[in-house]
A and B are shown apart, each in its own frame.
Chain A
Amino acid sequence: MTLGRSVAVTGAGCLCAAGANLQASLKALFSGIRIPAPPSLFRTSHSLSHPVFEVPESFFPQELPAENDALRTARLAIAAAGEAFADAGWRSADLASLRVGVVIGTTVGSAMNNEGFYREFRCGGDPDMAPIRRFLRSNPAAAVARHFGLNGPLQTVVNACSSGSDAIGIAAQWLEDGICDLALAGGADELCRTTCNGFISLMISANEAVRPFDRCRRGLNLGEGAGLLVLESPSLEQLRPGRVRARLAGYGAACDAYHLTAPHPQGTGLKRALAEALGCVEPEAIAFVNAHGTGTPDNDRVESIVLAEMLPGIPFHSTKGFTGHTLGAAGGIEAAFTVACLGMGKIPASIGCDETDPELPAAPVRHVTATPGRFAVSQSLAFGGNNAVLLFEKGERS
């Protein structure tokens, strides 16, 4: 859908393996620095090591110590939310008088899969309920609202890997309809042994650093993090002129209705979502695309086909070479990167793509690339055939 009045993005926050905040993450992206490593949060017994992109404990704000009564996903979301509110110039006390909605995408953050608890239960034991209480207190949207004292509507989107992008699009719709004055939206997800085993079982997890769109790509690396945007209604935005980093000018979503885990070979759902997000904006006006770019053979092939057909010649890149695939957080983190890069007028190299794939009709940028233009696209594909596309326009703070 084309958003009639364009929803203002006044703040962005991001915490991922690339950096403790958005600025640090961008510095790593433009320096070409990435640090995939074997997981330290858990162990597996697979014969091959599958590197991941973990968020070091030192990246969390000091006022958010590790605690036993919240999942790591909630902690990641709270950290990114704090940065986004600060970037937007909002203090907690000011937010109390507003209708603030929270829409956050996740996968692990909403899964009751505590392995220790379940291991004891299935052996006929009488496990302690602390892990269940922790899970019940950690719904990402509710945990963020509780931390910041927000009173508006909540929605935790569980659309697998498009959750973060869908969350931002849905929040914009809520603002347009006056359900809230301000919305915090994006995604958050933690690394988890269960998910790691799942992706390895599907044979789409690489045992080397991820290589999105490369000829020899072998699958994804999992990652974790959170990326959140502060979105404001037109009436609220007018009260604080000069705050707009970008505008969400379009959102599209469509389902392949094809397969549980594989995208449609011709990307029918992605094409529809992209067309819906673009609305009347001509392809020439698009500065760049932040592709989903997981590094799996199927995903990258489909995205390449769709981008070659619908946005020919438009530079695109994948940032998952720096962050890993952060699942429900990916759309939020990549939206924050897209907003920042649109403001900077350049995008980083699509790291990991050393040799372009001759079978793909379009290839990502392999160097830091200037991207003048008013609009940028961030797109997500997901299990379940979900496709979500966000269209951002430069704001006056860019």
Chain B
Amino acid sequence: MKAAGIRGVGLVGSFGCGTGALENSLRKGPKPPEDLVFFVSGRERRIPVHAVDTSPLDNFVSKREIRRIDHFSRMALLGAFLALEDSGLTDASRDSLGLIIATGYGAIRTTFAFLDSVLVDGDSFASPTLFSNSVHNAAAAHVAIQLKITGPSLTVSQFEMSVSSALLTALRWLDQGRVERVLFGGVDEVCSVIGYCHERFFGDSGGRIQPFAANRHTAVAGEGAAFFLLDRQEESRYGLITEVRQGRITKAVPFPEKGSYIINADGHPGCFSLYRQLFRPEAEVAAFANHYGSFPSGQSFDLAIAALALRNGIFPSISGQEEMPKGWRYPGVVGKKGITCLKCDGEGYLGAIGLKGG
């Protein structure tokens, strides 16, 4: 398999908009999460979440064009525009551009808003606008329409493995010459139901993700969109994606034993225990979910941080680094073996994305 070059990166997260905002967060420390308010058994509940402001989308699309577009698709649109802008290829043909979006739960706010329209007013008053925007590939449709992308379009929902799974196909498209470029993004959103689920499943997170906490849940729900313009160039300022592995950890899908690792440890001790089993002593490991939050497609933000580290030749200097398990250390200069972004889920599946300098 040939490597894919990362030509552009577009980010929107609780840290702000653009790669500079993420680098700023890494340097200065993550913003504290906001409160999400809902009611359970008549009592007000306040759950910390990493929420996103999509108002910078006004810089790319008129308000009129996006008035019926929901928060999920706005995040996707903003990430997509930023990635394309960052690549410097805004005028390139979109005929041979493919589009792939990875999402754990899709436009979940709109899914529940559609149910609201039914539950409040009755079946006959179900909202067609909300229904059509609740379909998982609605964001891809809006991106394709706004950016006039007429190549193949794919939306993948493989929960925690969504990013690595979708990236497998993105690299196939490039490798087989189906398209010249792929606009690839991970998107997920938070809502009150997600906040409620977090509280019921995990209890009080303490309001701050501690990626290396081994014995308690610290997951804080988040949302965002991380997009990448990928192509077949062998040189790229953000480096190359050289390998993607996804599957249950077995002989068939071996653990990649090389380089430095960015793990998507986002405050779930069950998943973290898998990382602890996998790594050799003295492993170079970093985790950054405390800067963007816990959500299924969060690995796409790790991919962005790996791309930035490859561009800079060094891992970001961070403030507020959490205490690591004994023997592990934070990576410094990016070595020849590159970086592996690693995600483990609760069922023993692994999603690994290998990158190196280009």
Residues on A facing B (Cβ under 8 Å): 1, 44-47, 98-99, 107, 110-113, 115, 118-119, 121-122, 124-126, 129, 132, 136, 139, 141-142, 145-146, 151-160, 166, 170, 173-174, 176-177, 179, 194, 197-203, 253-261, 268-269, 272, 382-386
Contact = CB atoms under 8 A, between A and B. Distances in A.
Contacts of A113: 111-112, 114-115, 134
Contacts of A136: 159
B59 interface: no
Contacts of A121: 192-193, 196
Contact of A158 (B106, B142, B144, B161): B106
Contact of A257 (B119, B148, B155, B201): B148
Contacts of A259: 145
Contacts of B105: 112
Nearest to B41: A126
B93 to A, nearest CB: 13
Contacts of B124: 45-47
A129 B156 contact: no
Contacts of A386: 137, 141, 153
Given A139-B158, A157-B155, A384 B150 contact: no
Interface string B237-267: 0000000001110101100000000000000
Nearest to A110: B157
Given A155-B158, A155-B169, A159-B154, A122 B119 contact: yes
A193 to B, nearest CB: 8
A384 B138 CA distance: 6
B112 A157 contact: no
A156 B99 contact: no
B154 A166 contact: yes
A129 B200 contact: yes
A383 B135 contact: yes
A317 to B, nearest CB: 26
A194 B176 CA distance: 39
B176 A176 contact: yes
B76 to A, nearest CB: 12
A272 B150 contact: yes
- Scoring B42, B144, B250 by chain A CB atoms within 10 A of each residue's CB, the highest score goes to B144
Interface in B146-197: 147-159, 161, 165-166, 168-169, 172-173, 175-176, 178, 192-193, 196-197
Interface of B: 1, 39-42, 99, 103, 105-106, 108, 111-112, 114-116, 118-119, 122-124, 126-128, 131-138, 140-142, 144-145, 147-159, 161, 165-166, 168-169, 172-173, 175-176, 178, 192-193, 196-197, 200-201, 246-248, 250, 252-253, 347, 349
Given A202-B132, A385-B144, A197 B123 contact: yes
14 contacts: A107-B136, A118-B115, A121-B193, A139-B159, A141-B158, A158-B137, A166-B154, A173-B176, A198-B132, A202-B131, A255-B152, A260-B141, A384-B144, A384-B155
Given A154-B158, A156-B158, A269-B150, 11 more contacts: A99-B253, A124-B40, A126-B41, A142-B349, A153-B253, A158-B136, A160-B135, A198-B114, A198-B128, A200-B123, A385-B145
B172 A173 contact: yes
A132 B158 CA distance: 16
Contacts of A157: 154-156
Nearest to B153: A255
B111 A154 contact: no
Contacts of A159: 137, 153-155
A198 B137 contact: no
A115 B112 CA distance: 9
B144 A255 contact: yes
Contacts of B116: 122
Contacts of A382: 137
- Scoring B108, B147, B172 by chain A CB atoms within 10 A of each residue's CB, the highest score goes to B172
Given A383-B135, A386-B137, A154 B250 contact: no
A160 B136 contact: yes
A151 B201 contact: no
B157 to A, nearest CB: 4
Given A129-B197, A139-B158, A173-B172, A198 B136 contact: no
Contacts of A125: 40-41
A156 B123 contact: no
Given A201-B126, A202-B131, A384-B144, A153 B168 contact: yes
A325 B188 CA distance: 28
B295 to A, nearest CB: 13
A255 B150 contact: yes
A198 B138 CA distance: 14
Contacts of A199: 131
Nearest to B178: A1
A285 to B, nearest CB: 23
A388 B222 CA distance: 33
Contact of B122 (A45, A256, A383): A45
A362 to B, nearest CB: 24
A379 to B, nearest CB: 14
B150 A1 contact: no
Contacts of A146: 347
B153 A384 contact: yes
Which 10 residue pairs across A and B have the least CB separation, nearest first? A198-B131, A384-B141, A158-B136, A253-B152, A201-B126, A197-B126, A255-B153, A384-B137, A201-B128, A151-B248
Contacts of B145: 257-260, 385
B118 A197 contact: yes
Contact of B115 (A107, A194, A203, A253): A194
A173 B137 contact: no
A154 B349 CA distance: 10
Contacts of B156: 155-158
A372 to B, nearest CB: 32
A284 to B, nearest CB: 26
Nearest to A386: B153
A152 B250 CA distance: 9
B157 A156 contact: yes
A254 B149 CA distance: 9
